Amino acid sequence: MLLDWGDFPFNKTPLICLHGGPGIGCAESTHFRDKKGDHEFWTPQLFMAELDDLKTHVGIGAFDLLGQSWGGMLAGQYAIEKQPKGLRELIIADSPENELPKELRETLERCERDDKTDTPEYEEAVMYFYRLHICRLEPWLKELEDSFAELEEDNTVYYTMNGPSEFYVIGNLKDWNIAEGLKKITEKTAPGGVLVVNGYYDEAQDETTETYWKHPSARTKWIRYPLSSHMPMLEETERFLADLGRFLKSE
């Protein structure tokens, strides 16, 4: 796969998007499989450095930043710690922190306790959760299926930083928290404001999502998508893009 870019229109601010995971991409990344389990290597600081390298390489000055799921966690931390020059608007989409049938929750807990997270029983329970709280489309889009297939084939980054599944977090993100740091996102940090989105059925429920719009002192807006879970950009695409466009064009 080749990535092409050209000159940015002088009157348009580029939007940089940080995907979820960690480690769910287009399968063209270098994953360094020998670094699986290396908590000192796979850190948010590594990904923030990569973002800075991207901006420098492409020649980006002013920019908007959108992060989805883990990407939103990273975008928030980046804004707090880097206070990046040129950041205009910040969009946090479906970023955490579930209501499952009792028997499924017991299955998950038993498999996790017995270290049997690679069994068909556990994988079936995980997929049930994903179809309730990650993406409720039936069937899933091929692009989404492909992303999960690639993640299963190489889970180096995901397993190291997260763990076996979305709700069994044993990686180096298990104690990740930027709640207090969000107060450092001011009007100077994101002069265009902060947009926070999640879905009604999202694994990132309101009580955790609200931190992203309550704590910053910058102007904030929160949108919840009534028919979506974790991926409103796929589940309610037209509305999501319209809302995003309006926010990016706002003063």
Lowest mean pLDDT among 31-35, 77-81, 101-105, 153-157: 101-105
**Exactly one of 31, 133, 215, 230 is catalytic; which is it?**
230
**Residue 121: other Cβ atoms inside 10 A:** 12
- Let me know if 230 is a catalytic residue: yes
> What average pLDDT score do residues 108-117 get?
81
**Exactly one of 31, 69, 147, 215 is catalytic; which is it?**
69
Instruction: Find how far residue 219's CA is from the centre of its chain.
Output: 21
- Let me know if 69 is a catalytic residue: yes
Using the structure block, give the residue that is written with the tokens 């608007």.
89
pLDDT tens for 39-85 read 888 899 999 999 999 999 988 999 999 999 999 999 999 999 999 99
pLDDT tens for 148-181 read 888 888 889 988 998 887 777 888 988 888 989 9
> Is residue 232 classed as helix, strand or coil in its secondary structure?
helix
Q: Which band of pLDDT confidence, cut at 50, 70 and 90, is reported for residue 28?
A: low
What is the structure's pLDDT at 221?
95
What is the structure's pLDDT at 128?
86
For the domain spanning 23-98+171-249, the CATH number is 3.40.50.1820
> What average pLDDT score do residues 97-118 get?
71
**Exactly one of 165, 202, 215, 228 is catalytic; which is it?**
202
